Structure 1
Amino acid sequence: MPTALTALTGVRHPIVQTGMGWVAGPRLVSAAANAGALGILASATMTVERLRGAVREVRSRTDAPFGVNLRADAADAADRVRIIIDEGVRVASFALAPSRELIARLKEAGVVVIPSVGARRHAEKVAAWGADAVMVQGGEGGGHTGDVATTVVLPQVVDAVGIPVIAAGGFHDGRGLVAALAYGAAGIGMGTRFLLTSDSTVPVAVKEKYLAATVKDVTVTTKVDGLPHRMLRTELVDALERSGRTASLLRALRHASAFRKESGTSWPRLVRDGRAMRHGREMTWGQVLMAANTPMLLKASMIDGRTDRGVMASGQVAGLIDDLPSCAELVDRIMAEAQATLKTLPGTG
């Protein structure tokens, strides 16, 4: 099923495995790439040195194209871009809009630039700066999210920009892929669905929590880092929402210290990243500090398997997923479903 996405990136199928911190490591990314999807390595929770090693590990596992996801506002973003260029990575994706200069540097090196956006105006900005494509996530998606549904924001972005658009938020099967293509998208991005595969390194006990969840068990809270964050509702999330300001700040300080050690980030760099996060947003310094809760609370679940101490970012589609296929089985199934769905549409059989 060739689309503008497959032509741009060189993958076989118009499916993207999104970059999820602590989840999208070398094993999952290489499995997704070998299945014909675009695997995206999550780098924000890695040191710069670890990122280079992870890229090389993916390369040792697959000959297929893959990408690396970056935080555009990170103080060491330029160092990470250098690794992408040096190591010949095909795609650079961004959780926030990269600068015009960063886009130009990557494009000069032949790297495909795909920022993630949540609104039409953001897509228009990065398209004007030279981005090759955009991934737009609707409010159904997991992690940091907005409040506009994919079915509303996707056509807005498709109509506003002249570059390929990848639809994310609410996708998990072939029917969704066909629907996204009908809206004008060039493919779909999936996070929760790839997390729930046998190739994912997330502990089995955590995967079982996701599989047991219903659509109503997925909620949005601002108590983790001050920004809307979609995740599974658990006793810990309920406790976070009941906690007062002082307890939240003390917890944030503790987690900021832990993340600094884990990521190799200095306190001055954490402050610089915090300033970048504040730019253009109405956020207190307390909320900026709380952002350190996200990586450490995610690590507790996704790495340590402690669902009682960690949070589990999740799209609403978790309530529709009930199995753990391999990436190859998942991608093959989605493409078969998509072809079957197309045949049922009037005038296409």
Structure 2
Amino acid sequence: MRTALTELVGVEHPVVQTGMGWVAGPRLVAGTAEAGGLGILASATMTFEQLEKAIAETKSRTSKPFGVNLRADAMDAEQRIDLLIAEQIRVASFARAPKSDLIAKLKNAGIVVMPSIGAVRHAEKVAAWGADVVIAQGAEAGGHTGSVASTLLIPSVVDAVGIPVIAAGGFFDGRGLAAALSYGAAGIAMGTRFLLTKESTVPDEVKKLYLDRGLDGTVVTKRVDGVPHRVLRTELVEKLERSGIKSLLAAVANAARFKKLSGLSWTTMLREGRSMGKEMSLSQVVMAANTPMLLRAGLVEGRTDAGVLAAGQVVGMLDDLPTCAELIHGIVGQATEILTRLPKEVQADASGTATP
């Protein structure tokens, strides 16, 4: 299936596996790439040395294009960008877009720049800065999320920018891909759906917890880090909702662990925490900086009692653990069948009214 995304990036299918921290490692990224999609390696939770090793391992598993997700505010952001250029990585994705000078540096090296946004104004800004493609993430998505549903955000962004748009938030099958293409998007991006694949390294007991959830199994809470964050309903999250933020000492301890893992400075981490909201106490700011360690506890260590599990609403529609190949080929096959069948089943009469 060829779209503006596949032509730009050089993959076979317009399906993107997002750069989920602690989840999107070499095995999942390579599995996605080998199946013809675009896998994105999550580097925000890695040290520079870990990123070097992860890129090398991914390349040992696949010769196909893949991407790396970066933090534009990391102290070593320039060094990481130089690494991507040296390794000839195809795509650089960002949750928060870098300024125009870094975008230009990546583009001049032939790397596709792909920021994620949750509002039309943000899409317009990154497009003006020179981004090649944008992921428009609707409110159904897991993790940090906005308030506008995908069905409204995606066509709004498509109308607002002149670059390819990738639809994210609530997508999991070929029906979603067909719908996204009809909105004018060039493909779909999925996080939770790829988390629940055989190549995902998330512990089996945690995957089962996801699969057991219904459509009401997630909650958007500000108790994790001060901004809307869609996560699984767990005992920890319910406790946070009832009693507020964890103690300052516990948050500081976790934040210190993430500082060591990520290479970020205390100034950067606290600035990141503070940026989550204007009216936040010190404990809330530290909690925001500490969030990556809460995610690690759940997604890596399998500690649902002490971890947070980011999840999209789509979790309520999932009941299996396919391989990346089974997932992507199934999505593309179903979408192709739908797009081929619909013109034959629905025709417009002379007045323009659609009739079955």
- Smaller-chain TM-score bracket: over 0.9
Q: TM-score, length-normalised on structure 2?
A: 0.93
Question: Does the CA contact (< 8 Å) of 2:43 and 2:70 recur in 1?
Answer: yes
Find the counterpart in structure 1 of residue 267 from structure 2: 271
1:61-82 Cα deviation digits (max 9, x unpaired): 1011000001122222112111
Instruction: Give the Cα–Cα distance (whole angstroms) in 1 for the partners of residues 299 and 279 of structure 2.
Output: 27
Q: Does 1:345 align with 2:335?
A: no
- Cα deviation for residue 224 of structure 1 reads 1.0
Find the counterpart in structure 2 of residue 255 from structure 1: 254
1:12-49 Cα deviation digits (max 9, x unpaired): 00000000000000000000000000000000100011
Q: Does 1:38 align with 2:38?
A: yes
CA RMSD of aligned residues (A): 1.6
Question: Does the CA contact (< 8 Å) of 1:224 and 1:293 recur in 2?
Answer: no
Q: 1:308 to 1:83 in 2, by over 3 A?
A: same
- Cα deviation for residue 348 of structure 1 reads 7.6
Question: Does the CA contact (< 8 Å) of 1:44 and 1:70 recur in 2?
Answer: yes
Question: What's the secondary structure of 2:343's corresponding residue?
Answer: coil
- Cα deviation for residue 305 of structure 1 reads 1.2
Instruction: Give the Cα–Cα distance (whole angstroms) in 2 for the partners of residues 289 and 102 of structure 1.
Output: 28
Q: TM-score, length-normalised on structure 1?
A: 0.95
- Cα deviation for residue 116 of structure 1 reads 0.4
Structure 1: 5+ residue stretches without partners: none
- Cα deviation for residue 279 of structure 1 reads 5.2
Instruction: Give the Cα–Cα distance (whole angstroms) in 1 for the partners of residues 240 and 274 of structure 2.
Output: 22
1:259-306 Cα deviation digits (max 9, x unpaired): 1233344xxx12124325645952535433212332111111111111
Q: 1:37 to 1:302 in 2, by over 3 A?
A: same
- What amino acid is aligned across from residue 240 of structure 2 in structure 1? L
Question: What's the secondary structure of 1:93's corresponding residue?
Answer: strand
- Cα deviation for residue 244 of structure 1 reads 4.0
1:290-330 Cα deviation digits (max 9, x unpaired): 12332111111111111121111000000000000000111
- Cα deviation for residue 242 of structure 1 reads 2.1
Question: Does the CA contact (< 8 Å) of 1:5 and 1:186 recur in 2?
Answer: yes
Instruction: Give the Cα–Cα distance (whole angstroms) in 2 for the partners of residues 318 and 240 of structure 1.
Output: 21
Instruction: Give the Cα–Cα distance (whole angstroms) in 1 for the partners of residues 41 and 107 of structure 2.
Output: 19
Instruction: Give the Cα–Cα distance (whole angstroms) in 1 for the partners of residues 69 and 128 of structure 2.
Output: 21
Instruction: Give the Cα–Cα distance (whole angstroms) in 1 for the partners of residues 247 and 146 of structure 2.
Output: 23
Question: What's the secondary structure of 2:24's corresponding residue?
Answer: coil
Question: What's the secondary structure of 2:189's corresponding residue?
Answer: strand
What number of residue pairs does the alignment pair up?
Answer: 345
Instruction: Give the Cα–Cα distance (whole angstroms) in 2 for the partners of residues 280 and 191 of structure 1.
Output: 22
Alignment of 1:192-231 (within 5 A): 192-231=192-231
Structure 2: 5+ residue stretches without partners: 347-356
Q: 1:321 aligns with which of 318, 321, 344?
A: 318
Find the counterpart in structure 1 of residue 134 from structure 2: 134
Find the counterpart in structure 2 of residue 312 from structure 1: 309
Find the counterpart in structure 1 of residue 174 from structure 2: 174
Find the counterpart in structure 1 of residue 53 from structure 2: 53
Q: Does 1:330 align with 2:335?
A: no
Question: Does the CA contact (< 8 Å) of 1:170 and 1:315 recur in 2?
Answer: yes
Instruction: Give the Cα–Cα distance (whole angstroms) in 2 for the partners of residues 241 and 10 of structure 1.
Output: 44
Instruction: Give the Cα–Cα distance (whole angstroms) in 2 for the partners of residues 251 and 318 of structure 1.
Output: 30
Q: 1:126 to 1:283 in 2, by over 3 A?
A: farther
Question: What's the secondary structure of 1:308's corresponding residue?
Answer: coil
Question: Does the CA contact (< 8 Å) of 1:73 and 1:273 recur in 2?
Answer: no
Q: 1:207 to 1:187 in 2, by over 3 A?
A: same
Percent identity (aligned): 63
Question: What's the secondary structure of 2:216's corresponding residue?
Answer: helix
The 10-residue stretch of structure 1 (82-91 or 256-265) with the greater mean CA deviation from structure 2:
256-265
